[in-house]
């Protein structure tokens, strides 16, 4: 299973201000769904940060996202982590923006969004 990127997920009450701030650091907006914004380095697109609106609809927001290369690996990885006793915070599901993902709690109490993009 290959990892495409790992990025922090930050709950924000200041999406526009965050975009301007991180823009000054050289990141550019690569996704904006209104409630979630991702910014990335133009020279290293796997260097990213995501901001969630503090009023986002999810009951639990992730602290970190780990994007894996193969969407077919999402469900087996979920099963493996669950069998090992990890707390599954949200079971696998397909999202309308083209990913399959689940949330799992790490040993530090942080919620990890394990995600893969579905083929177009």
- 5-9, 18-22, 32-36: segment of lowest average pLDDT: 32-36
- What average pLDDT does the structure give for the chain? 92
Q: Mention every residue, 6+ apart, whose C-beta is less than 8 A from residue 117.
A: 67, 71, 98, 99
pLDDT in tens, 44-93: 989 999 998 876 666 678 999 999 999 999 999 999 999 999 999 999 99
Q: What is residue 115's predicted lDDT score, i.e. its pLDDT? A: 96
Higher pLDDT, 61 or 22: 22
Length of the chain: 120
pTM of the model: 0.85
The token pair at 27 is: 């990141």
Q: What is residue 102's predicted lDDT score, i.e. its pLDDT? A: 97
Judged against a pLDDT cut of 70, whether residue 119 lies above it is answered with: yes
* CA-based torsion, 101, 29, 62, 34: positive or negative: negative
């Amino acid at each position: 299973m290959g990892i495409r990127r790992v990025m922090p997920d930050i709950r924000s009450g200041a999406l526009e201000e965050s975009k301007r701030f991180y823009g000054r650091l050289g990141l550019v907006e690569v996704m904006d769904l209104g409630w979630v914004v991702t910014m990335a380095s133009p020279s290293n697109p796997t260097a990213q940060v995501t901001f969630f609106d503090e009023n986002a609809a999810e009951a639990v927001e992730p602290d970190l996202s780990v994007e894996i290369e193969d969407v077919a690996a999402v469900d087996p990885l979920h099963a493996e982590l669950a069998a090992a006793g990890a707390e599954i915070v949200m079971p696998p599901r397909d999202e309308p923006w083209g990913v399959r993902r689940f949330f799992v709690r790490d040993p530090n109490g942080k919620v990890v969004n394990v995600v893969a993009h579905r083929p177009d």
